[in-house]
Structure 1
């Protein structure tokens, strides 16, 4: 039983916003639970402070995500098209009726913005006005308290609120962002790794060569994320990763939800790895 109340109530009791260090703790918890959902092939579609409950009244209490009434199972390459969710937290691609788990990441960006400054990034008096703002307006990072917020925190929010969903971070990537980096934080397995490998092994030789060349331009932040993901695959002693490594990592995280969402089908598309090996 969650006796600590909603995250929204905690925000209001603190005067409308959180100190940056406290906000980090909240955002990490949100990202961890959403990363788990996304790995199972579940998109929540209604992430907002009202749907996170604290387990107790203690300041350091853990949170639980509730209200999966609008959630849906989704295959790795599937797009959803129905407009659902709460207006202030709806991603642009939801309004365009073509979206996936990235829409949840937008909602987390909105929550983080609120935690840090106490106001919504997109506001209007009507729902249609809010939707127009989401599609056309940019969040305000000039007014107080943003000048006193760290550059890393602002970069985090801007990347989460990128209107191009393809440039938005996944939950696992977000946990390796410089603002949240923590040596003691376990980074969860990311289904994006499976999508990227699937795309790579089915690409033409020319495209694979181009991707290999582009990989040399990866930033240190991106490398931190990739190293963490490769280590979760538990490479062999020679440093190589095979199809069996991918299978075991996915199966060890499997739940009934993952079976429902057909996420496990992605392994079939990675069959060419059965006679190949990859290294990092």
Structure 2
């Protein structure tokens, strides 16, 4: 069990929760109270996916980081439970922040065979930015959030809508199709798709564009849609 992706397991619980309530028409029970997350006899191990997500965040563009920060602000306390557990495993400093050393120490203390086989040292090396800056819980949430897992939740549309409201206030800006393509590491073949993500009224990302930008698009998928 310890080598499973616990982030995936956590979101699976949330999906099953939504299905349960749909079928029984009963009030939603609190995910935060689920025994897999609250029972001290079932400690949740360090999740290597968190390291991969943080690495990607640190190497992301300012626009992508702003989009993720807005998304993290749309989560409820129940949806933040797993991230709080993972942040606690990093043993934040007295100021409530973590640095690269926290990630290294936690890894040494909690490493499993699966982690050792997943090139985790390469991931740590790519997180070098944390050697001269620290990350508080709010930024950690933005860095460690998984858009793909959230998209599977029953309440994804509401989460995305709320996140977009934050993004409108704190991160959305005028962007050209060409610049958006560079953000996504795509070429001119994707322009016809990306132009639909930008509002004609002000040249900023629309709600559709925001959610698509969070998810990302590959050249292969853009070519498929283009044809």
TM-score computed with the length of structure 2 as normaliser = 0.46
Q: Which has the higher contact order (CA 8 A, sep 6+)?
A: 2
